[in-house]
């Protein structure tokens, strides 16, 4: 399966671990080239990089192009800002792109308890993995 991996840039290191695991399972997994500068950075540095990318690199359009030849996305939704299974606004938008493109949407963990969009995450029939990547089919 051709899987685009998405999630908060604050979780880049874990995202790369998941990327490596999917490769071992013979999935054709991808990360956007925008993720690499976040490796090994502090949360503050990551925030500055993220703001720079959003303001100067056309991140939303780049991601739309990145998704065009994928079968699915894997949302890496880890705890952030004391919110379990956090899905940020950019990731939510990217999951919406996947829905429009008729791609499967896998959630690494449970649907977050965020009233603003919990209904929408459920409505797009996200497949919850409970951190078990073997469930990706």
pLDDT score recorded for residue 112: 95
Give the mean pLDDT of the chain: 94
Percent of the chain whose pLDDT exceeds 90: 88
Q: Which CATH class is domain 2-135?
A: alpha beta
Judge contact between 8 and 91, C-beta under 8 A.
yes
pLDDT score recorded for residue 81: 85
Report pTM: 0.94
Domain ranges of the chain: 2-135
Distance between CA 94 and CA 4 in Å, rounded?
Answer: 10
DSSP annotation of 31: -
Tens of pLDDT, residues 3-47: 999 999 999 999 999 999 999 999 999 998 889 999 999 999 999
pLDDT score recorded for residue 80: 92
């Amino acid at each position: 399966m051709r899987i685009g991996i998405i999630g908060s840039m604050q979780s880049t290191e874990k995202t790369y671990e998941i990327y490596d695991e999917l490769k071992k399972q013979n999935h054709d997994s991808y990360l956007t080239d925008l993720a690499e500068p976040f490796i090994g950075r502090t949360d503050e540095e990551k925030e500055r990089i993220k703001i720079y990318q959003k303001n100067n690199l056309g991140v939303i359009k780049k991601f739309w192009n990145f998704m065009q030849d994928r079968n699915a996305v894997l949302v890496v939704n880890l705890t952030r800002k004391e919110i379990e299974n956090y899905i940020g606004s950019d990731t939510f938008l990217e999951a919406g792109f996947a829905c429009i493109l008729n791609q499967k949407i896998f959630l690494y963990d449970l649907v977050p308890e965020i009233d603003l969009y919990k209904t929408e995450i459920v409505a797009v029939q996200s497949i919850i993995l409970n951190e078990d990547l073997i469930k990706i089919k």
